[in-house]
């Protein structure tokens, strides 16, 4: 349920960017270019997806982080090469934003997995305490 909620929020933000303006207001004084927002969003999506896949296959945090950042870099590289082949220009800034988005997506997953692990440990501890209370009350 939570995943679908976040995906809907992300989709709503992406659809908001489809307007005529090339900038997206953030707060009262800030803004971000639409292209940079889309690059960071794509990088975060790829980075978090690859992180989850590699983490659940290997259970190694550093390898998962490296794979997610590398995959976001590759996606950004492919996008920029596509831009250049269509007559545009290769933008190192866009590549950096996509790669940083991949790191950000992976970092969010690291935090999420850590929280889930702590909650699972806490739940197991609570079950054990309840079991001990139940056993003591029956004797």
Beta bridge partners of 24: 32
Residue 71 resides in a domain: yes
Count of the separate structural domains present in the chain: 1
Q: How many CA atoms lie within 13 A of 92 on its CB side?
A: 0
Residue 123 resides in a domain: yes
Residue 100 resides in a domain: yes
Residue 79 resides in a domain: yes
Residue 102 resides in a domain: yes
DSSP annotation string for 35-68? HHHHHHHHHHHHHHHHHHHHHHHH--HHHHHHHH
Residue 21 resides in a domain: no
**How many other CB atoms sit within 10 Å of the CB of residue 10?**
13
Residue carrying structure tokens 């794979």: 67
Domain range for 45: 35-138
> Where is pLDDT greater, at 138 or 70?
70
At residue 109 the predicted structure's pLDDT band, cuts being 50, 70 and 90, is very high
Residue 45 resides in a domain: yes
Instruction: Read off the pTM.
Output: 0.69
Residue 73 resides in a domain: yes
CA distance linking residue 18 with residue 15, whole number of Å: 5
Provide, rounded to the nearest whole percent, the portion of the chain with pLDDT above 90: 37
């Amino acid at each position: 349920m939570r995943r679908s909620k976040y995906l809907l929020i992300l989709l709503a933000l992406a659809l908001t960017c489809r307007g005529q303006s090339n900038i997206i207001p953030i707060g009262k004084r800030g803004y971000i270019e639409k292209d940079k927002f889309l690059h960071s969003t794509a990088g975060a999506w790829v980075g978090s997806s690859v992180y989850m896949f590699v983490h659940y296959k290997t259970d190694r945090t550093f390898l998962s982080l490296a794979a997610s950042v590398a995959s976001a870099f590759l996606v950004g590289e492919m996008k920029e090469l596509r831009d250049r082949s269509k007559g545009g220009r290769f933008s190192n800034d866009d590549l950096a934003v996509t790669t940083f988005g991949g790191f950000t997506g992976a970092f969010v997953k690291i935090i999420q997995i850590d929280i889930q692990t702590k909650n699972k440990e806490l739940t197991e501890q609570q079950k054990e305490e309840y079991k001990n209370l139940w056993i003591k009350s029956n004797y």
